[in-house]
Structure 1
Amino acid sequence: MNFRPRPKDEPEINLIPFIDVLLVILIFLMLTTTYSKFTELQLTLPVADAEQQRDYPKEIVVAVAADGRYAVNKAAVEGGGVESMARALGDAAKAGADSVVIISADAQAPHQAVITVMEAARRAGLSHITFATQSSASAGR
């Protein structure tokens, strides 16, 4: 019999599985945590009716009817020529060259009527032109 004391191995703690478990817990907590935004001050913002205060000095709305008549900002334009339209656009351009011309033409309006408005805008020095449309859902009403 061998009664000599055997050298005892020091117990080791294997850290690799411990780190793996901690990473899984950390990922789980990160995915399940909801973040809330807390403010320090409770504010009551002022209320305003935006529709009454809206003023568009940069917008010039030009309506073109199906028969070729024109209206600039709901005012009828006498004469269908480029010169009379350019004068009307120049008078309506409160913001000068920064004004935006919105052409709202009827679907049945002649192509030449729209081109006349574009040429008049060019002569009046207005280079920002856009076209108004409506969605197909509102067209069926």
Structure 2
Amino acid sequence: MKFYRVKKEAVEVNLTPLIDVVFLLLIFFMVSTTFTKESRLNLELPEAEGTPPAEELNVLELTISSAGSYSVAGESLINDTRDTLSQGLLKMSEGDTNQPLQILADAEAPLQSVITAMDVAGKLGFVQVSFVTMQPSTGTAEK
């Protein structure tokens, strides 16, 4: 008697359903994850260091109060709009945008007011814009 051996087929694991499930889980977790949005910037501004430069003549000073109101060369502006600030800077500089501009901002002044002042000065053509800070220990102005 002759016995025929039955050939065993090699066992294969079908990975297609496993890959499908893994991709579905990946898509599910990507869609269901919430991403945090930063609504405010946490800034730590540096302290002033260095020696003040020599005094420059005809320096135009723009002061920003803690309430965000502007004054140009010691004269307060009637409101805090960009147009008023632009007109005030042009009037006090007499159209000379090569004149140095110093921005003196209160420590409690809104950051948006400082950004608006820089933006208006840039659009008017002021190129020599600097900030005046206060030294924390003595309280004297530094440029």
TM-score between the two structures when normalised by the length of structure 2: 0.55
Correspondences of 1:1-141 after superposition (within 5 Å): 56-57=57-58, 59-94=59-94, 96-139=96-139
Identity rate, percent: 22
Shift of 1:82: 1.1
Deviations 1:9-52 (A, max 9, x none): xxxxxxxxxxxxxxxxxxxxxxxxxxxxxxxxxxxxxxxxxxxx
Distance 1:134 1:67 in 2: 18
Shift of 1:75: 0.1
Distance 1:115 1:97 in 2: 18
How many residues matched?
86
CA RMSD of aligned residues (A): 2.1
Distance 2:73 2:88 in 1: 10
Shift of 1:83: 1.2
Q: Greater helix percent: which structure? A: 1
Distance 2:56 2:102 in 1: 15
Extract structure 1 runs of 4+ deviating beyond 4 A.
none
